[in-house]
């Protein structure tokens, strides 16, 4: 009797499909072949086809004002397109903590100002625009007073501790400093000896005092890890955008000063921010690579303008340090008996959000697929400098990187890492393109800090690229 080969093939296919297991929510592609973009999009579907709802560019709202008029009385969050403004970050975190529905409008860079020149931060349903971030926090608390956390709790019968501690930041951080784009405004000042427009670093001794005072301030309310004890308040929200930049950028200027590792209360505070507030870790927080690159770029710009006396070798050392430093956001750790696991934090936040992947590594892969055309525009010139390489090689190399992230990364209760030996199998081209793309990714503009940590980890742990 003849065998029906078509039937036999279908039976074998069903058997293989029902006996193959995967460790992620997506079916993993074969490791023996680099998948096409179509295959990757299919694997990452339906998440890859969705975006955060009610997000528009400023020009879209100007061309079509009805967008904001028909937003079901939602609040409007105005965020800079590069997600670099610390004042907008305050408002974003408050809206997320309160789990309010809001429309996001992406506007041009705000120049880090809290006035009409910087642009609004929050729009109220009646059309009122708020330009001051603390006023925005007060408004958010007023309309969500029945929702935890209370952003302005009375921690003392006689003193408004929250507002008092908000104001202390300007006294504890170094004073008389200047703003450099992308740099926390505590690291540089005008040259005291010459009135020639040149700038210089704030002395290390000033930073030693700042870190000690923050550490002591955190001890004033021993009933919790936050600035006013427990739980998080507007005080933490107002400080955090500046603190996260400070702890990332300061060690690049003074490697011997390490606020996060050398000061116990600061360490516990930042751990609590990341572990207890998933929205902060997943969509609001920046990361060390992003802040480090912003500092390096600002220094290069000022050096080129002739207002910063810093030699090329010093900046090169900083740049190398940026690319070799791992942000704690992607490190599973245990402190004082409490475990921080990036996978758990991400799954808590991503639950019931169909525009986010179930795991950090799947979200990282999804974002890279979505961003690939912009990434290629940024790295093509650098890629093609090496003789014999073309755009097709670059395209395949990025697909290999994404395939590795999907098939060889473990996001689980016990692990947050690549499978042993997986990264050594990456081609030289894949390692090169991963390194280039890694420098282009800005957090949280392009993806959240936890998903980005997967790509950062790949670049750090893989055999070194041929291009440095």
**Would you call 172 helix, strand, or coil by DSSP?**
helix
If you count DSSP H runs as helices and E runs as strands, how many of each does the chain have, helices first? 19, 11
Query: Beta strands 102-107 and 55-57: pairing type?
Result: parallel
Q: Measured at the alpha carbon of residue 412, what is the angle toward residues 402 and 414, in degrees to the nearest 5?
A: 130
The C-alpha atoms of residue 187 and residue 200 are separated, in whole angstroms, by 9
Confidence (pTM): 0.89
The DSSP secondary-structure symbol of 327 reads -
Q: Which residue has the higher pLDDT, 179 or 347?
A: 347
Task: Return the axis-axis angle of helices 133-143 and 86-97, rounded to nearest 10°.
Answer: 10
| DSSP codes, 66-83 | HHHHTSTT-EEEEEETTS
| 411 band by pLDDT with thresholds 50, 70 and 90 | confident
Q: What percent of the chain has pLDDT over 90?
A: 71
Task: Write out pLDDT tens, residues 194-214.
Answer: 677 789 999 999 999 999 999
Q: Which residue has the higher pLDDT, 335 or 17?
A: 335
Largest Cα–Cα separation, the chain: 99
| DSSP codes, 393-457 | HHHHHHHHHHHHHHHHEEESSS-EEEPTTSGGGS-HHHHHHHHHHHHH--TTTTS-HHHHHHHHH
Strand partners, 229: 226
Rg of the chain taking only CA atoms, in angstroms: 24
What pLDDT is stored for residue 59 in this prediction? Answer: 85
Task: Write out pLDDT tens, residues 251-280.
Answer: 999 999 999 999 999 999 999 999 999 999
């Amino acid at each position: 009797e003849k065998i029906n080969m078509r039937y036999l093939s279908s039976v074998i296919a069903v058997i293989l499909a029902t006996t193959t297991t995967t460790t992620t929510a997506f079916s993993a592609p074969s490791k023996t072949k680099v998948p096409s973009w179509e295959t990757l999009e299919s694997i990452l579907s339906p998440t890859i086809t969705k975006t955060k709802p009610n997000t528009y560019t400023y020009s879209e709202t100007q061309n079509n004002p009805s967008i904001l008029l028909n937003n079901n009385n939602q609040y409007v969050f105005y965020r800079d397109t590069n997600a670099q403004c610390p004042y907008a970050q305050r408002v974003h975190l408050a809206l997320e903590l309160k789990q309010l529905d809001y429309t996001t409008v992406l506007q041009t860079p705000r120049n880090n100002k809290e006035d009409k020149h910087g642009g609004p931060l929050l729009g109220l349903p009646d059309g009122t625009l708020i330009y001051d971030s603390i006023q925005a926090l007060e408004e958010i608390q007023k309309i969500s007073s029945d929702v935890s956390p209370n952003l302005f709790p009375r921690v003392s019968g006689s003193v408004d501790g929250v507002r008092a501690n908000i104001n202390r930041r300007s006294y504890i951080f170094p004073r008389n400093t200047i703003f450099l784009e992308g740099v926390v405004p505590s690291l540089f000042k005008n040259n005291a000896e010459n009135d020639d427009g040149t700038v210089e670093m704030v002395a290390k001794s000033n930073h030693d005092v700042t870190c000690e005072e923050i550490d002591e301030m955190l001890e004033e309310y021993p009933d919790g890890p936050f600035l006013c004890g427990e739980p998080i308040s507007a005080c933490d929200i107002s400080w955090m955008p500046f603190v996260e930049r400070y702890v990332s950028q300061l060690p690049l200027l003074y490697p011997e000063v390490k606020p996060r590792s050398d000061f116990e209360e600061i360490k516990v505070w930042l751990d609590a921010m990341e572990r207890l507030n998933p929205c902060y870790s997943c969509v609001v927080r920046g990361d060390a690579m992003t802040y480090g690159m912003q500092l390096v770029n600002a220094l290069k710009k000022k050096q080129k303008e002739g207002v910063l006396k810093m030699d090329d070798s010093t900046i090169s050392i900083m740049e190398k340090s940026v690319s070799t430093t791992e942000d704690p956001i992607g490190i599973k750790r245990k402190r004082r008996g409490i475990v921080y696991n990036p996978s758990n934090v991400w799954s808590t936040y991503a639950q019931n959000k169909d525009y986010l992947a179930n795991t950090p590594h799947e979200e990282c892969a999804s974002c890279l697929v979505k961003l690939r055309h912009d990434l290629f525009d940024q790295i093509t010139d650098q890629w093609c400098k090496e003789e014999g390489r073309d755009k097709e090689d670059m395209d395949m190399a990025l697909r290999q990187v994404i395939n590795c992230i999907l098939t060889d990364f473990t996001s689980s209760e016990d692990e947050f890492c690549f499978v042993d030996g997986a990264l050594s199998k990456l081609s030289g081209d894949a390692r090169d393109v991963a390194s280039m793309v890694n420098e282009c990714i800005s957090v949280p503009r392009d993806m959240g800090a936890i998903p980005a940590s997967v790509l950062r980890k790949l670049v750090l742990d893989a055999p070194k690229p041929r291009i440095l």
